[in-house]
């Protein structure tokens, strides 16, 4: 509680420092990063950083954007077009912009035109050394941007890609782990770019093959060297027919149990769970929460008599075991039979992957 109060005071000091350039229509918003890596709105107590959008002075057109970390160090400084002055969290950047690490050292310097990167962008390591240089070439006819790889430096400051030719290292955001490494020819990706991703303590190797920056193939490899071509890094589990068909098949196999008086048991909603194995079969059926043992056995019997038709979750093409949870609702039909349906079948997120 005390920590949150202190943080709120610190953030207030940030606002006071910039009060002389604020107007009535200055917009202040608070953001944090969710589990998917996306930005979302929050409050001052739980934010990772705050954003101030400051109205232009008389005679100026562009709004000023200032973002600050919780420790009051500046995170970003730039300008934006007034057409994007809503609370969507997305702004149309214009002109020169600079971003910083939370230590206060610069992170990148670049320029925008109508919300798109334009020209050279300089990126830095957390210690302040130059990391890499890109050139964003905007095609005004089809409104696309071509990214040219210009220069890249290793952590010792040695240049490994010079004027669009050489070796390129791409890091994860913390700069502690290498994401992918490959060759650049004439500013474009060429040949195999090899990377590693960590999953449940194990590393997964993957290779993107390029020709003049166009992707030719994507292949993931298990730690045993088995290869799996892929098109998407993450493919969520899905049923080959449909969720409705799966529930319908389940419904056909389910025999509603009777109570002690011989009447069909009254059933409301039951949460069922199961695991999709790497080969698509379903195992480890379970019910969530307290449930009558007779009903549980009837559900298990139905589950054991249905074809799966499932594709497992895939990560860089490699199939994974994953757990599914479904709230199943029951209704009595006019002839007294029990019918089941489910509005959603969700993959349990934490953990998404059970094992592999």
Q: DSSP secondary-structure letter at 93?
A: B
Using the predicted structure, report yes or no on whether residue 135 has a pLDDT greater than 60. yes
- Determine the pLDDT at residue 303: 85
SS3 (DSSP) at 83: helix
Higher local confidence (pLDDT), 293 or 347: 293
Which of 177-186, 266-275, 338-347 holds the top average pLDDT?
A: 177-186
The pLDDT of residue 200 is above 70: no
pLDDT of 92 strictly over 50: yes
Q: What would the pLDDT profile of 164-186 be if each residue is shown by its tens digit?
A: 999 999 998 889 989 999 999 99
pLDDT of 304 reads 86
Structure-model confidence comparison of residues 122 and 26, the more confident one? 122
Question: In angstroms, rounded to a whole number, what is the distance separating the alpha carbons of residues 126 and 109?
Answer: 14
Q: What 3-state class would DSSP assign to 298? A: helix
Residues in the chain: 356
3-state secondary structure of 50: strand
The residues near 312 (Cβ < 8 Å, ≥ 6 apart) are: 237, 276, 277, 278, 279, 280, 319, 320, 321, 322
Mean pLDDT, range 292-299, rounded to an integer: 86
Where is average pLDDT lowest: 28-42, 82-96, 104-118? 82-96
Q: For residue 239, what pLDDT is reported?
A: 79
pLDDT band at 353 (very low <50, low <70, confident <90, very high): very low
pLDDT digits (tens, 9 = 90+) for 215-253: 999 999 988 889 999 999 988 888 777 777 777 788 788
**Of the given ranges (148-152, 167-171, 183-187, 283-287), which has the lowest mean pLDDT?**
283-287
| Residue 260 pLDDT level (bands cut at 50, 70, 90) | confident
Q: For residue 148, list its beta bridge partners.
A: 135
Q: What are phi and psi of 210, to 5 degrees?
A: -120, 155
**Is residue 237 within 8 Å of residue 347, measured between CB atoms?**
yes
Of 270, 271, 282, residue with least CA distance to 322: 282
Distance of alpha carbon 312 from alpha carbon 307, whole angstroms: 14
Query: What is the pTM assigned to this prediction?
Result: 0.75
What does DSSP assign to residue 159? E
Which of these ranges, 147-151, 192-196, 345-349, has the smallest mean pLDDT?
Answer: 345-349
């Amino acid at each position: 509680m005390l920590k949150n109060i202190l943080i709120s005071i610190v953030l207030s000091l940030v606002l006071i420092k910039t009060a002389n350039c604020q107007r009535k229509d200055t917009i202040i918003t608070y953001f944090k990063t969710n589990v998917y890596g996306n930005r979302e709105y929050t409050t001052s107590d739980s934010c990772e950083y705050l954003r101030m959008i400051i109205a232009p002075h008389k005679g100026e057109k562009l709004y000023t954007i200032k973002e600050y970390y919780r420790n009051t160090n500046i995170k970003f400084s730039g300008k934006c077009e007034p057409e994007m002055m809503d609370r969507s969290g997305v702004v149309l950047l214009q002109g020169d912009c600079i971003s910083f690490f939370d230590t206060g050292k610069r992170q990148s310097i670049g320029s925008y035109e109508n919300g798109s990167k334009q020209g050279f962008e300089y990126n830095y390591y957390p210690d302040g050394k130059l990391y890499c240089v890109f050139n964003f070439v905007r095609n005004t006819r089809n409104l696309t941007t071509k990214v040219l790889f210009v220069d890249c430096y290793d952590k010792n400051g040695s240049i490994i890609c010079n004027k669009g030719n050489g070796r390129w290292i791409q890091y994860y955001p913390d700069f502690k782990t290498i994401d992918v490494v490959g060759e650049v020819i004439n500013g474009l990706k060429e040949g195999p770019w090899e990377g590693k991703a960590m999953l449940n303590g194990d590393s997964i190797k993957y290779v993107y093959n390029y020709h003049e920056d166009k992707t030719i193939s994507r292949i993931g490899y298990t730690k045993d060297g088995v290869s799996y071509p892929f098109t998407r890094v993450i493919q969520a589990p899905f049923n080959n027919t449909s969720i409705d068909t799966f529930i319908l098949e389940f419904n056909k196999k389910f025999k509603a149990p009777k109570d002690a008086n011989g009447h069909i048991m009254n059933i409301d909603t039951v949460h069922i769970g199961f695991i999709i194995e790497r080969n698509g079969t379903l195992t480890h059926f379970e019910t969530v929460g307290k449930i009558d043992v007779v009903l549980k056995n009837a559900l298990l019997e139905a589950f054991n008599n249905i074809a799966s038709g499932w594709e497992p979750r895939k990560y860089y093409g490699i199939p994974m075991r994953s757990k599914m949870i479904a709230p199943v609702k029951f209704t009595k039909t006019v002839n007294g039979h029990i019918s089941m349906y489910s509005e959603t079948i969700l993959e349990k997120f934490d953990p998404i992957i059970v094992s592999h």
